[in-house]
Structure formats: C-alpha cells, structure tokens
Chain A
Amino acid sequence: MGNVVEIRDLHVSARTDSGRTVEIIKGVDLNVGAGEMVALIGESGSGKTTIALTLLGHTRTGCSIRKGSVRVAGRDVVAMSGAERRRLRGRQVAYVPQSAAAAFNPSQTIMDQVVEVAKIHQLMPMEEARQKAIGLFRALALPDPETIGLRYPHQVSGGQLQRLAAAMALIADPEVMVFDEPTTALDVTTQIEVLRAFKSVMRERGMAGVYVSHDLAVVAQIADRIVVLKGGEVQEEGATEQIVTAPKHGYTRALIDAFHPRPHEAAATERPGPETPVLEVTNLTAGYGAIGRDGRPEYLALKDVSFRLERGRSLGVIGESGSGKSTLARAIAGLLPPAIGQIRMDGVELGRRTKDRSKEDLRKLQIVFQLADTALNPNRSVGAILSRPLTFYHGTRGRECEAEVDRLLDMVRLPKALKHRLPPELSGGQKQRVNFARALAARPELILCDEITSALDTVVAAAILDLLDELQRELGLTYVFVSHDLSTVEAVCDRVLVMYQGEKVEEMPTSRMKSGAEHPYSKLLIASVPQLDTGWLDGLDRERASPGAEAGR
C-alpha cells in the first residue's frame, strides 16, 4: 500500500456533437505513492489532462467517467456526491492550471485569491492564512513575499504568476498536487525558475504529485516516474531514468528521437564572390504608439537591427517573449511599418507597408503564422484557401488551379481528398501544413516562419521541420525562422540571430550556438534549454552561484 492515488481500469467517454460516444480513456491504471511525482506525457489528445482531472472528480463538459475507480487517499472519487467532491477539491487534491494568467481573476488582489481556498473550506482564520501564504511565497522564491500579495495579477510576470498559482494550490496542504502543463506557456529562462521552485517545494513537503506535460525534457527534471500515454492508453511506464535512457516502447522512442533533431547541414556549398542577398535589413527600428518628434514611435519594439540573408539559407531568430522577434517578422512583411531603416529584397528596396509594395514584391515574400487555428479562415475549404494565392498572384483558374492545389497538397504530404474539408476538421499538424502550403502557393523566394511549430506536439513538429528542410533543398527557398525553441532552430537554420529587448545581441552560425555564444544573454538563453537528462536542473543549480539573480525579472 502507501499509494496516495490509485486509479484502476479507468474509462472516460465523451459524446460528440453528432451524438456518438467516443472513448477517450481506455482502461488506465495508475499509482502514485506518497511523496512521489508521476508525470503523464503524450501528445495532445492522448488523454493526459483528462486523467489528471479525474483526480479532482472532474471531467470536461460532455465527458463522463464510465467505468473504473479513482481512489485518492483511500476514497473513491468516482462514487462521491457533488458535496463530497467539493470538500475534496482544494483540500486534498489541488490543481495548477496551464495558464495562470487565465486562472487568476484580474480584478482581485493576488492575496485574496490565494487564501480563497482556506476561506471557502473555513480551514483557518484569515490572518493565519495570509501568514501562511507569505511563507509559501518565500518558499517559491518569489520576490517581495511580504507585499506581492497586494498586487493585482497583471502587475507580476508570467513566471511569477505561475508560482503564485502553485501557492494558491498549496495553501490548504493538499495530499496530491495536479500540475497541468504549468510551464508550457513560459520562456525557457523563466521556466527554469518555476521548475526549480516547484521541485523544491514538493520535495520539502513530501507531497505526491501528478505532472502533465508534453515536454519530455521538462518532465525528466521533475518527475520520479513517467507514464507515456497515447490514444487514451498507457504505452509505457517506468522510472524517469529508464524512460529517458532506455525506452522500450516504439512510441516513447519516437518521442525521444523527436527531441534530438538532426543538426542542419548547410544546404548550399559556400559560394565565393559577393552575391546579392535575398534579404538585407539595415538599421531597422520599429515600434508602437504615437510617433515622436524624432520620427521614432513611443514604444520601441525593435532597435537598430541589421542582417543579411543569402539565398537558400535559413536564419533563426531566437529570444524570449517581448524580445521583438515577432515584430521583426511583421516589420519585414510590411505589416508594421518601420520608423527607420531599410529592407531590401534581391537588392530592391521594399516599401514600408504592404500597400506600398508591388504585387511581385508581395509574392516573393510570404509569412506563415504560429497558430494555424487563427491563420486559416474557418469557413473556407482547404481548396479555396490554397487556390486564392494562385488566382491572386498568377491568375491560375479552373482545372489548372485544381491541379496546382493537388500538387501543393502533395508537396506538404497531405492527401488530395483534404481539399474539400474545412480547417476546423483538420488536426493541428495538418492545419500547419495547409498554412505552409498557402505560402508555397505564391511561389515565394523568402518565407517568414513565425513560431510555426510552437503550438504543435513534439513528434508532429519534428515532421514539419523535416518537411521544411526538404522543401528548402527542392525549391531553393530562404527562411527566416522566428522561434523561442532553440532545438527547433538548430534543426533548420544555418545561422542564428539572438534578440534581447528589441536589439540584436549576437549573430552566429548554428553549429557554434552551444559552444561559441559570447554575449552573456545568449549564453543564459542557450543554457536554459532543458536537456533530456534527469540531473540537468540539479546540475544547473550547483553551477549557478546565485540562483535568484534572474528571478526578479
């Protein structure tokens, strides 16, 4: 015995809009021992969050627990009444959501929300709860623990908010903590601080936990045991060390392989002589807000950025959120007119906004956005989406256009039958392929990729990256690849440009990224990428003399 959580033969089913019943979880068994941290890992739709939520006796709308038992601290959650479940939640099982920003009420102070659990369950006097909360803030290495509770959620950073969400969950000393992808939305540099705080608090209190994530490297740092899920079934279960170093199941191996991308080989051999670069950006400055007297906007998002990009090459732009990397892509695409600076394509200067550019210039430069969900009009079929740029730029119509759409779908490895479907009927990876095919339809020379794999699962993203690489070789495309994920950049780019607070900090070949970074910020950024090694985070702690140095940001 000694298991805090015991899940036996759990079946969860959902009703679709058309009235069919779909089984999401197909007979899962799971144990979590006292003081143990178990990670549930898998791609989206694998049922990892659904399982985690059953610990709270909760299922998402339309889902229901059909069979099986979920015992938390010896009591079956499935058999409980609504009132009993309410008493369980917060006190015995607590939940830390993925997006802390959405979990906090923006019009109440943080302290009021952190002590709310104690208030609802009448666990302790309010004053005591506040003192306890301050203690938790300190334990989670938050700055100004005495006063941070008086602030409102928008007055703290994303990483701090995530730790505050953990404090909210910890206030009633639950027996089990459920973490639902708590660091997925954070920058790598922030992620470290949050992971470190979670780990030390959990270890100190000897609490049991369930950690849901799709990121194997993160899980390797924090979990004792890993459960690999796919399609609502357990594929493999084992100690973290064993899963990471000696995976048995094929799916686990695919996950781990996807984590180690093949380093990118330069597509073309070095060509001597000065060639006109495809893209040349000089002293680009752009921003938002009112334009001042010196011609600069009030808030600068991009300060004096210059670079050159040769044909057939790819440039990775990395940096944390707010570093101006997406702004750079938007300014090049003409969506945000730059205040100062020039953008040249094939030696020809481009207009500042899309309106000032010729159709030919617009055609040669295409942009692909991060979220395929919002980048594809949900009401137009895939065929219509792909044929529009063909008609618009090349005047292709009718049967010729149909054939071209088929060719494009084939190019991004999608079946032809897909062209009659609407985007909401496609999976995330398929949508991103359509999104990319639309850019290809223009027959561009340069494609700006804005975080195009960030919203995808590891395995799916790896396939997209392979495709990008292949198309580059076939069509001689040039990419600007904006990403916060360094391993992605490593997989497709020749050179890397590091951005920090709107400025270009450093530019170097990808091969030198791990060893040759010179600027302290680049070093920090590169060192913050979680490694697939269970001792990485602890090793990092020992390495750094003052771990709290970056926490205050």
Chain B
Amino acid sequence: MTTTASARKGRFGWHMNAVGIIGAAIILFWMVVAIAAPWISPYPVGQIVDFDYYGPMSAQFWLGTDYLGRDMLSRVLMGARYTVGISLAAVAIACFVGVTLGMIAAVVGGWFDAILSRFLDALNSLPSLMFGLVVVAAVGSSMTVLVLTIAVLYAPGSYRFARALAVNVNAMDFVTVARARGEGTIYTIREEIFPNIIGPVLADFGLRFVFIVLLLSGLSFLGLGVQPPNADWGALVRENIGGLSFGAPAVIMPSIAIASLTISVNMLIDNLPRRIRDRSE
C-alpha cells in the first residue's frame, strides 16, 4: 500500500527535483534583490565613487567599478529591478494575452479566428526595435511603456503557439462531448483545453523570457530602454564592454547575473512538478 502511494506521488505529485528547486531559489533570490535594492545597495547608482575606472574587486567595492568609476555592486543590484521586473511583467502579460486569445480563436474559429490571426500576423511583421523606437519617441520612456511595448511585441508569437496547440486539443472527442452537452466557450477553454496545453505553454514562457531580456538590453543600447544613470543588466554589459580586454569584473558580473537568471528560469520550468508539467500527456 505504501509503495503504491509513494509511486503515485512520484509520478503525479507536487514533488520537485533538486535542479528545479535550485532554479526556483535563484529566481526568488533575484526577486528579493529587485525589491530590496534601494536599501541594500552600498552606494547611490549614479555616484562616481572611485578615481580608478574598471577597478578590481576589493573589500570596498565588492564587484569592482565601472568605466566611470561607479560601484558595480550597486549598479547590478539596482539593475535587477529593471531586468527582472520588466522582463517578468512583460512575459507574463504577453503570454497571458497570447494564450487566452489563442485558445479563444481555436475554439470559436471562423471569421473571429481569421481576423485575429491576420491582425496579429501583421503585428508580428513589425521589426521589434523599430516599433520600440516609434513608441518611445511618441510617449517617452518609462517602465510602464517598456513593459507594454515588449508585451505587444511578444504576444503574437505566444498566440500562434497556443492556438496551434489548442486547435489539436479542440479536435479531441472530450471537447466535442462538452460541446454536445451545451457548454459555453469560457468553460471549454478553462476546463477542457487549458489544462491540456499548459506543459508546452510553460516551456514557451521560459524561452520567451530569455528573448525579452535580450530585447531589453538591445533597447537600452539604443537609448530607448532604461534611462541613465539607471541601467538594466544588458545595458551594464554594453556600457562596460570596453573593459573586457582588461578582464574587468564590471563586464563579467552583469553577464553572470543575466546567465544565472535566464538559466534558472528554464531550469525551473523544465523541472516543474509533474502535476503541472505532464498534464498534457
């Protein structure tokens, strides 16, 4: 009896393996940092605190100094706010909108599906940096504008992906049974379709998150992203790229921060409890 119970739990329970827990811990760590950054960073972000540029790691400046002699630790901690906050918010909005619309389009079909698909295809054809440039030129740069712009850019891809999955599930007999029972669209989507596409949708979420981190640093490089003296991690790498030849921590540390975040997001998603991940099997 106990063996069957434990086998059941292992196969379809909430149990998560070590890799997934490590991923979750790193993400949690960066989220805490993002929230607490103003209180824990040792120096103000924009203040030049050292005459030496690309300074090495020392007891005074844990992560060295950047190309102007600013404290890197403070800049990385504050950068977490932008990278983690904007990317997570943007990916969450993009996936929520895209997946919801994708499922509705798959279930409703007909002209609704056709018009929505063509509209989102048209949106997909806009070059992302160009679109960002136009939006920022028109309304100025702020965190809200950045989050929404990036969400708009990434929602169509998410829509396409979810719609393709949902169309397959929609053809299954249990959806037909629900329809024959007289169920409405919302019930069908929420109870019959969504639980069966959640696994691949989450994997897509992780991938999209990484792309958004990259786009964000691209926007910052063009001066459209986070405005100086603040900087997200991508921008920190860009502005300190000259220090690469000196092996300065100023360029290496933000790179490590980006890598740790993106890898851990994917580590978490690939190792989510089977209860969530394997639902679509």
| Alpha-carbon separation in the docked complex, A18 to B7 (Å) | 6
Q: Which residues of B contact A137 (CB under 8 A)?
A: none
Residue A357, interface by CB 8 Å: yes
Is B195 an interface residue when CB atoms closer than 8 A count as contact?
Answer: yes
Q: Does A335 contact B179, Cβ atoms closer than 8 Å?
A: yes
Of A357, A359, A377, A422, the contact of B174 (CB 8 Å cutoff) = A377
Given known contacts A379-B195, A422-B12, A362 and B177 CB-to-CB distance under 8 angstroms: no
Which of B173-197 touch A at CB < 8 Å? 173-174, 176-177, 179-183, 191-192, 195-196
A18, B180: Cβ atoms closer than 8 Å = no
User: Contacts A377-B192, A380-B195 given: A354-B182 contact, CB under 8 Å?
Assistant: yes
A442 at the interface (CB under 8 A from B): yes
Residues of chain A within 8 A of B176, CB atoms compared: 335, 369
Question: What is the minimal beta-carbon distance from A105 to any residue of chain B, in angstroms?
Answer: 23
Contact with A along B153-185 (1 / 0, CB 8 A): 000000000000000000011101101111100
Q: Which residues of B contact A369 (CB under 8 A)?
A: 173, 176-177
- Interface size classification for chain B: 20 to 34
Given contacts A18-B7, A374-B172, A374-B174, contact A354 B195 (CB under 8 A): no
Q: Is the CB of A362 within 8 A of B180?
A: yes
In the assembled complex, which residues on chain B have CB atoms less than 8 Å from the CB atom of A388?
181, 191
Interface residues on A, range: 20 to 34
Q: How far is the CA of A393 from the CA of B11 in the complex (A)?
A: 35
What is the CA–CA distance of A493 and B131 in the complex, to the nearest angstrom? 66
B276 to chain A, nearest CB (A): 10
Assuming the A-B contacts A374-B172, A377-B192, A422-B12, are A438 and B177 also in contact, with contact meaning beta carbons closer than 8 angstroms in the complex?
yes
Let me know if B242 is at the binding interface, CB within 8 A.
no
Closest to B179 in A: A354
Contacting residue for A379 out of B179, B181, B182, B279, CB 8 A: B279
Q: CA A377 – CA B192 in complex, angstroms?
A: 7
Residues 234-281 of B contacting A (Cβ, < 8 Å):
279-281
CB of A294 closer than 8 Å to a CB of B: no
B10 at the A/B interface (Cβ < 8 Å)? yes
Closest residue of B by beta carbon distance from A384: B191
Contact B177 A18 (CB under 8 A): no
Query: Please, which residue of chain B has its CB at the minimum distance from the CB of A439?
Result: B177
- Tell me if A371 is interfacial: C-beta within 8 Å of chain B: yes
Q: Select one of A334, A378, A392, A438 contacting B281, CB under 8 A.
A: A378
> With A and B bound together, what is the CA distance between A367 and B12 in angstroms?
31
Nearest opposing residue in chain A for B7, CB measure: A18
Determine the distance from Cα of A392 to Cα of B188 in the docked complex, in whole angstroms: 13
**Chain A residues, Cβ within 8 Å of B10:** 18
A374: chain B residues at CB < 8 Å are 172-174
Taking CB atoms, residues of chain B closer than 8 Å to A378 are 196, 279, 281
- A527 within 8 Å of B by Cβ? no
Chain A residue with the shortest CB-CB distance to B275: A379
- The 8 A CB mask of A330-367 against B (1 = contact, 0 = none) is 00011100000000000000000010010100100011
Known contacts A18-B10, A377-B196, A379-B279; is A333 also within 8 Å of B173 by CB? no
Q: Type the 1/0 row for A361-398, where 1 means its CB is closer than 8 Å to any CB of B.
A: 01000110101001111111000000011001100000
Shortest distance between the CB of A349 and any CB in chain B (Å): 17
Complex Cα distance, B173 from A316, in Å, reads 22
Contact of A377 (CB < 8 Å), options: B11, B12, B180, B195? B195
Nearest CB on B from A46, distance (A): 23
- Chain A's closest residue to B192 (CB) is A377
In the complex with contacts A18-B11, A369-B173, A374-B173, A380-B191 CB distance below 8 A: yes
Q: Taking CB as reference atom, which chain B residue is nearest A375?
A: B173
| Residues of A close to B195: CB separation below 8 A | 377, 379-380
Indicate if the CB atoms of A354 and B279 lie closer than 8 Å: no
* Residue numbers in B under 8 Å from A380 (CB-CB): 191, 195
Contact B182 A362 (CB under 8 A): yes
The reply to whether B180 and A334 form a contact with Cβ atoms under 8 Å apart is yes
By beta carbon, the residue of chain B nearest A379 is: B195
A399 to B250, CA, bound (A): 63
> In the complex, are the beta carbons of B174 and A362 less than 8 A apart?
no
- Is the Cβ of B196 less than 8 Å from the Cβ of A379? yes
A176 → chain B closest CB, angstroms: 36
A199 to chain B, nearest CB (A): 36
- Residues on A with beta carbons closer than 8 Å to the beta carbon of B12: 422
Hey, which chain B residues are within 8 Å of A393, CB to CB? 181
CB distance from A352 to the nearest CB of B (A): 14
Q: Indicate whether A17 reaches chain B with its CB closer than 8 angstroms.
A: yes
Docked pose: A393 CA to B181 CA in angstroms:
9
A375 to B181, CA, bound (A): 13
Question: What mask results when residues 1 to 34 of chain B are scored 1 for a CB within 8 Å of chain A, else 0?
Answer: 0000001001110000000000000000000000
Q: Verify if A20 is at the interface (C-beta below 8 Å from B).
A: yes
Question: B173: which A residues are within 8 A, CB to CB?
Answer: 369, 371, 374-375
User: A389 CA to B191 CA in the complex, in Å?
Assistant: 13
- Identify 10 new A-B residue pairs, CB closer than 8 A, beyond the known A17-B11, A335-B180, A377-B192: A18-B11, A20-B7, A335-B176, A369-B177, A374-B174, A377-B195, A377-B196, A379-B196, A389-B181, A393-B181
Query: Which residues of chain A have a CB within 8 Å of any CB of chain B?
Result: 17-18, 20, 333-335, 354, 357, 359, 362, 366-367, 369, 371, 374-380, 388-389, 392-393, 422, 424, 438, 442
User: Lowest 5 A-B CB distances belong to which pairs?
Assistant: A379-B195, A375-B173, A362-B182, A369-B173, A374-B173
- What are 12 A-B pairs with beta-carbon distances under 8 A? A20-B7, A335-B180, A354-B180, A359-B182, A374-B174, A377-B191, A378-B281, A379-B195, A380-B191, A380-B195, A389-B181, A393-B181
